[in-house]
Structure 1
Amino acid sequence: MAGRVERDRAALNRLPRWAVPALAALPAGGLALFFAYPVGTLLTRVLRPGSVTDVLRAPGLAGVLWFTVWQAVVSTVLTLVVGFAPAYVLARYRFTGRRAVLAAVTVPFMLPTVVVGAAFVALLPANWHGTARAVVAAHVFFNIAVVVRLLGSMWAVVPEGITAAARTLGASPWHLLRHVVLPLLRPGLWASATVVFLFTFTSFGTVRLLGGPAHATLEVEIARRATQLGDVDGAAVLSVLQLLVLGAVVWWSSRFQRRTAVQLPGARSLRRARSREQRRLVGTVAAVATIVMATPLVVMVSRSFRLGGRWSMAAWRTLGHTEVRPGVSLGVDPLASLFVSLRFAALAALLSVVIGALAALAIGSARRHGRLLDVGLMLPLGTSAVTIGLGILIAFDTAPIDWRAKWWLIPVGHALVATPFVVRALVPVLRAIPAEQRNAAAVLGASPWRAWWAVDVRRISAPLVGAVGLAAAISLGEFGATTFLTRSGRETLPIAIARLLTRAGETPRAQGFALATMLLVATALIIVIAERRVFGEGSVLDARGA
């Protein structure tokens, strides 16, 4: 009888059958038009006779593939090694300043890659520029947060009793680590390694600024072929090849993680460092981690105020100028790029929030059947921005949909990348709504639409505000897709920064550091606010790494 009453109440609260398809129409249509169609167009280019063999036989491609793989492997190993100690300290100990250290370690991961590249251009000596070690160093800096979060979340629930029992039985610190701790941490280590490898394998902005012409990854080679050589078919083949490699890595990693899954009964609990050795470890790791993560960014900011070996505001004062000196053009308007980025970010945020909210409401209302839309909207996160930009460029270059020169393609591409974050912010909120609230609305006489508006829509209003800022931050820093879609006079901040840093002369480089500083401050502030208003501590990073 009780079950029948519950079913009757659920029926009273259920929206009409056409409501969920209506809510999902715009998100699904946008995904089909601006993601599935461009990716499908790339595939058709690859299927042309001889296209694959011609590209794979191209001189120099083997070197690009080899560099892409080995730098990703080395970057992954070094990131695991460097991030091991901070992951342990932040996962196991409570200490003064812990939140500040956690922010110092994790915020760089959410910064635009062009900002990280600019920071290492400012930090590293000139003889490091254009080298593989510069690329690897920047990748380690950028991805330490992945190890701290993913490995740390596993380390936090390792029961203290297991390690205490091993020490009681006479295990040395090395044997304790090798035979007890590492086997328990294996799933976290593997998850961290997979995410870091994927990010470094598909690295674009950092490699473009630091690697030079001799050290190009697949992403950089794809952009070079499409934008400089005009070899669109070759770029399409490489994009699909990269997608296949990434898919194989994710599939193999998922199978391995399922086989090595470990059930840990421990609960997350932070403790104070008691012994002198523990206090020394915590203090040393916290200090070193903060200094290492802050130094590149601090140096970049300081370099924007130095010209000719002296402190100067000249680079900031001349951001509105388009010439280095009379008759010598910068090739970009630095100040105009700021306003272009702000305009695109506002539109991208609006698009992603509207589409993301509709999608989240459709997923929440459909319950079990909304998973297809949920998974579909996550696909752009698993595809590199360079591939998305190339696909859009190819797909919309002929009548009847010749949109290549349309300015709005850039914010649409940004919204495609930002929408999954909006969905991830809202869906858990909707799924956490107790069924009793909807039942109470029905008992009080509310129609299904009114109950849906009062319970579901109003519940997501607060996180929606924070999602606007997060989408804007993603748009401000987007570099990969924008490289293909930008046109002269519509350069965004990342495009302007990259061009200024690659020009000769101190003034353009200092201006590039100044623009990167502006982008750094704006992005960091938005991320911190979004963490508190929308996701909670660390979840922005977790959503990106997912």
Structure 2
Amino acid sequence: MANGDGPLTTAHPGRRAPVLRRHTGLPLLGAVPAVFLAVFFGWPVVALVARAFGSAGGPRGHLGELLDRDDAWSLLGATLGQAAASTVVTVVVAAPIVWLVARVDVPGSRVLMIVVTVPFVLPTVVVGIAFRALLGVGGPLGFLHLDGTLLAILAAHAFLNVAVVVRVVAATWASLDPRAEQAARTSGASPMRAFVTVVAPRLLPALASSAALVFLFCSTSFGVVLVLGDGRVRTLETEIYTQAISYFDLPAAVAVSMLQILVVFAVVLLIRLLVPARPTSRTARAAGRVRPHGRGWLPVIAAGLWAGAVLLGPPVVLVLRSLRPTVGGEWTLVGYRALDVAVNGQTPLQSMRYSLVSACWAALLALVVGLLTALVLTRSPRWVAGVGGVVTLLPLGVSAVTVGFGYLIVLAGVPSVVSRSPAIIPVVQALIAIPVVYRMLVPAIGLVPDELRAAAATLGAGPLRVWCTVDLPLIRRALGVATGFAFVMALGEFGATGFLTRPGTVTVPVLIGSALGKPGAANLATAMACSVLLGAVTFAVVAMVEMLRSVGEPDL
């Protein structure tokens, strides 16, 4: 992430121009995202904290007793353990794909990046259903009897988060100057030794950064654990949901939420330490990518087959199961026909229409708040940018179930005209997308040449005109990419909206989760068909995003 002390004018490269050092409008611009996050994220979390101490009777010891009573410390260990194991599995699974993306120049690389990216933005409930179809009875890997086990959850988490490792590490690897490795080879080092001694140490910061992000996502995973755990695998996230919804034990749910917030805050601080403070130059990008010849195609083919099996296997099985929902049954379109059949007064197609509209508003909201945050923090003192970066990342890390639960507490005490407002769900969906928009725009803004800003200011352009004529044209692709990612992330949000939906505002992920909880082959077929439809929309949006992404632009 890029943090700076403000633009400076000078003819010397690498330094910034003093003409643009003053930003009198920064406090006003910064007030918008600050107020938004304070009201729509801080308020529910603070309300949750207040309820935690109120429900515990005030003294701290009572809160500890609640955690002891609900075996929260064991759940904490299980949550951190599965997150760590998921991170290791993800890195191992991603390694061949990272090499393929960073070092091999083959046709179809853009298609490969689309395939890599889609799992990351797929709704977690869709991923859960796909792996149930893959690992369950009658599935291609059903003979392994992994359905409902921790190994199934680890595999699904790896599938979801491969894109994080591939994009972060491969982008760094592709930008490395290959001459150092070539010098080691010339001195007699084998390819493996040259990689271990020259390349690997330079990739470690990117690997640590991506691994920390994967750990954060896995430690707050909800949909995957809920669908694949089958009640046998419990984490802090699922325990919050169980205590709040199934048992309606609010003190216990709030106490576990408090514990998870502390864990997330610690992980976010760690990520802040691992992520580079300034954007790196991409001038050497793709310099080390080579076109294979002869036997060099063998590892490329092997890596390609591995990527295809890992990334395409679960979606393909999901599509097939949507056409044959019962094991050994007939091929049928009954699930797709049910898309136009009302369930509790709302058809799945109506839910999809509502989800698309809601995601559009959420993406627009996330773009505005994320862009303003990026503009302010890239022009703020280093300590302000550091604190602001941590705060901005918190909505992505704090459990969606925790946020949804906090909204239940807050909305119970406000007028019904507010609690029933159709704007609530887009706002909650935008919260998880704002950190992604921010992280994608900060490097893009940081790579805008300060000399261009200084020249425009010297010619009399005001700050707004400088931004419109210099920054905006250079970051417009990043804006489009960030908007696309915000849209698909909002479209797939499941944890928080599950608390807040009501008749007429049921999103497709919530509808899928509801259908899975009902018995009967017809409900399973409907869930499968909705999952395929949601996956198809996600794939289409990601494909358009990749078309917008230009070579050399910062990656996620």
TM-score if structure 1 supplies the norm length? 0.82
- Partner residue in 2 for 1:311: 331
1:41 aligns with 2:47: yes
- Partner residue in 2 for 1:117: 128
What are the within-5 Å matches in structure 2 for residues 58-457 of structure 1? Answer: 58-59=69-70, 61=72, 64-126=75-137, 127-153=145-171, 155-156=173-174, 157=176, 159=178, 162=181, 165=184, 185-249=203-267, 251=269, 268-274=287-293, 276=295, 278-307=296-325, 309-322=329-342, 333-363=347-377, 371=385, 373=388, 375-399=390-414, 403-442=418-457, 444-446=459-461, 450-456=465-471
Question: What CA deviation, in whole Å up to 9, does each residue of 1:442-466 have, x standing for no partner?
Answer: 5555555555554456665665455
What is the CA-CA distance between 1:283 and the residue it aligns to? 0.9
What is the CA-CA distance between 1:114 and the residue it aligns to? 1.7
Number of residue pairs matched by the alignment: 522
Distance 2:436 2:405 in 1: 22
Distance 1:252 1:370 in 2: 17
What is the CA-CA distance between 1:222 and the residue it aligns to? 1.0
Q: Is the 8 A contact 2:129 2:318 kept in 1?
A: yes
What is the CA-CA distance between 1:411 and the residue it aligns to? 0.8
Distance 1:251 1:444 in 2: 42
What is the CA-CA distance between 1:250 and the residue it aligns to? 5.1
Please point out which of 24, 27, 37 is paired with 1:21. 27
Distance 2:34 2:446 in 1: 20
Distance 1:53 1:445 in 2: 62
Letter in 1 for 2:409: I
Q: Is the 8 A contact 2:72 2:256 kept in 1?
A: no
Q: Is the 8 A contact 1:51 1:237 kept in 2?
A: no
What is the CA-CA distance between 1:32 and the residue it aligns to? 1.1
- Partner residue in 1 for 2:4: none
State, as a whole percentage, how many aligned pairs show the same letter.
Answer: 39
1:130–1:362: structure 2 CA closer, same or farther, 3 Å change rule?
same
Gaps of 5+ in 2: 1-7, 138-144, 277-283
Q: Could you say what secondary structure the match of 2:340 adopts?
A: coil
1:128–1:537: structure 2 CA closer, same or farther, 3 Å change rule?
farther
Distance 2:275 2:366 in 1: 32
1:350–1:281: structure 2 CA closer, same or farther, 3 Å change rule?
closer
What is the CA-CA distance between 1:517 and the residue it aligns to? 1.3
1:532–1:255: structure 2 CA closer, same or farther, 3 Å change rule?
same
Distance 1:249 1:373 in 2: 16
Q: Is the 8 A contact 2:19 2:457 kept in 1?
A: no
Distance 1:453 1:255 in 2: 32
- Partner residue in 1 for 2:505: 490
Q: Could you say what secondary structure the match of 2:341 adopts?
A: coil
Q: Is the 8 A contact 2:117 2:542 kept in 1?
A: no
Q: Is the 8 A contact 2:180 2:198 kept in 1?
A: no
- Partner residue in 1 for 2:65: 54
Question: What CA deviation, in whole Å up to 9, does each residue of 1:495-534 have, x standing for no partner?
Answer: 0111222322222111111111121121222223234436
Distance 1:456 1:167 in 2: 43
What is the CA-CA distance between 1:247 and the residue it aligns to? 3.5
1:333–1:57: structure 2 CA closer, same or farther, 3 Å change rule?
farther
Q: Is the 8 A contact 1:464 1:534 kept in 2?
A: no
Letter in 1 for 2:117: T
Q: Is the 8 A contact 1:13 1:442 kept in 2?
A: no
Distance 1:272 1:99 in 2: 16
- Partner residue in 2 for 1:529: 544
Letter in 1 for 2:105: R
- Range with greater deviation from structure 2 (489-498 or 34-43): 34-43
Q: Is the 8 A contact 1:92 1:270 kept in 2?
A: yes
Distance 1:302 1:4 in 2: 61
1:129–1:333: structure 2 CA closer, same or farther, 3 Å change rule?
farther
- Range with greater deviation from structure 2 (499-508 or 296-305): 499-508
Distance 1:420 1:116 in 2: 22
Question: What CA deviation, in whole Å up to 9, does each residue of 1:200-259 have, x standing for no partner?
Answer: 22211111111111212211111111222222232222222122223334556777899x
1:148–1:426: structure 2 CA closer, same or farther, 3 Å change rule?
closer
- Partner residue in 2 for 1:473: 488
Letter in 2 for 1:247: F
- Range with greater deviation from structure 2 (51-60 or 337-346): 51-60
Question: What CA deviation, in whole Å up to 9, does each residue of 1:61-91 have, x standing for no partner?
Answer: 4553343233223322222322222222332
1:370–1:432: structure 2 CA closer, same or farther, 3 Å change rule?
farther
Distance 2:85 2:252 in 1: 27
Letter in 1 for 2:363: A
- Partner residue in 2 for 1:502: 517
Letter in 2 for 1:26: V
Q: Is the 8 A contact 2:98 2:170 kept in 1?
A: yes
- Partner residue in 1 for 2:281: none
Q: Could you say what secondary structure the match of 2:429 adopts?
A: helix
1:493–1:168: structure 2 CA closer, same or farther, 3 Å change rule?
same
Distance 2:553 2:461 in 1: 38
Distance 1:253 1:5 in 2: 35
Q: Is the 8 A contact 1:364 1:370 kept in 2?
A: no
1:20–1:170: structure 2 CA closer, same or farther, 3 Å change rule?
closer
- Range with greater deviation from structure 2 (296-305 or 194-203): 194-203
Letter in 2 for 1:346: C
- Range with greater deviation from structure 2 (449-458 or 285-294): 449-458
1:350–1:320: structure 2 CA closer, same or farther, 3 Å change rule?
same
Letter in 2 for 1:494: P
1:514 aligns with 2:490: no
Distance 1:446 1:152 in 2: 39
1:30–1:342: structure 2 CA closer, same or farther, 3 Å change rule?
same
What is the CA-CA distance between 1:398 and the residue it aligns to? 1.6
Letter in 2 for 1:96: P
TM-score if structure 2 supplies the norm length? 0.81
